[in-house]
Amino acid sequence: LASANSISSPYVIYPGQKIDISYPPSQVRQGVVASVEKPSKVPSVKESASKPNTQKSHNAPVLPSSDAETDWKWPTNGRLIGYFSAKKPVSKGIDIAGSLGESVLAAAAGSVVYAGTGLRGYGNLVIIRHNEKFLSAYAHASRIVVRENESVKAGQKIAEIGSTGTDKVKLHFEIRENGKPVDPLKFLPKTGGGSG
C-alpha cells in the first residue's frame, strides 16, 4: 500500500489524502485498512471520506470547491531554516524559526481535520482541509488552540510555536495537494513571513 502510493517511512497519511487501494484487494480490505483504522485517534482515510456524508448539512463546514483559488498566507513570521525537498534527505515541508509560544496562524480558511499528537515525529500537530484539493499541516506546536471540525479563517491563531517531537523551537509547515506534499514556497506570497 505504501509503495503503491509513494508513501515513505514513517508511512504517514493525512485525513482526506487519496490512497490507491486497488491491489491486492483481499489483503488491503482485511489487513491494511483495518490496521490503519485501529491504532490511534488519527482519523483513517476511510473515516475522513465518509464524514461529510454522515454530518447534518447545517453542521458541515462549507469549503470552497477544489477549483477555487486558495489565498495562502504565511503561518508565522520568521526566518526559513529548512526547505522542501523531494530528494534525500526528504523534507515534506518548510521549517520556520520562531520563539516559544509565538502564534501559529491558519495559512488559509478551512476546517480542522486533525489536532493532536498521533503522528510520530510531528509532535503537537494541526491539519486543516482547505478544499477538496488542499490540506496544510502545522507541526511541533507547544499548544494547540483549535479543535477538530472547527472552521478557521485565514490568519486565525490555531497553535503556538514549540519543539514537541523535535530538537529545536520551530514551525514545520506542509501543504498537500491531492494528498501529495508540495513545496509551500510555490504557494505562499513572496513577501511577508519567512523572510526575516
CATH code of the domain in which 91 resides: 2.70.70.10
The three-point CA angle 106-115-180 to 5° equals 70
DSSP 62-121: P---TTSPP----SS---EEE--BSSSSPBSSEEEE--TT-EEE-SSSEEEEEEES-STT
Residue 74 belongs to a domain: no
Residue 59 belongs to a domain: no
Rounded CA separation 125/42 (Å):
11
Q: Are residues 94 and 163 in the same domain?
A: yes
Read off the C-alpha cell for 194.
Answer: 519567512
Residue 126 belongs to a domain: yes
The per-residue pLDDT of the chain, averaged, comes to 78
Residue 97, domain extent:
80-186
User: How confident is the model at residue 59, as a pLDDT?
Assistant: 44
Identity (one letter) of the amino acid at 149? N
Q: Are residues 104 and 46 in the same domain?
A: no
* End-of-domain residue from the set 18, 39, 54: 54
User: Which tens digit of pLDDT belongs to each residue from 127-169?
Assistant: 999 999 999 999 999 999 999 999 999 999 999 999 999 999 9
Residue 129 belongs to a domain: yes
Specify the pTM. 0.68
Residue 27 belongs to a domain: yes
Residue 38 has pLDDT above 60, yes or no: no
Residue 90 belongs to a domain: yes
Q: Are residues 89 and 181 in the same domain?
A: yes
Q: How many domains does the chain have?
A: 2
Residue 52 has pLDDT above 60, yes or no: no
Q: Are residues 28 and 90 in the same domain?
A: no
User: How confident is the model at residue 118, as a pLDDT?
Assistant: 87
Q: Are residues 19 and 109 in the same domain?
A: no
Residue 67 belongs to a domain: no
Q: Are residues 91 and 12 in the same domain?
A: no
Classify the phi-psi angles of 44: left when phi > 0, otherwise alpha if psi is within -120 to 50, otherwise beta: beta
Identity (one letter) of the amino acid at 16? G
User: How confident is the model at residue 3, as a pLDDT?
Assistant: 65
- Please state, in angstroms and as integers, the Cα–Cα distance from residue 55 to each residue in 3, 89, 93, 138, 157, following that order: 33, 41, 31, 26, 26
Local structure of residue 173 (DSSP, 8 states): E
Read off the C-alpha cell for 82.
Answer: 529548512
Residue 73 belongs to a domain: no
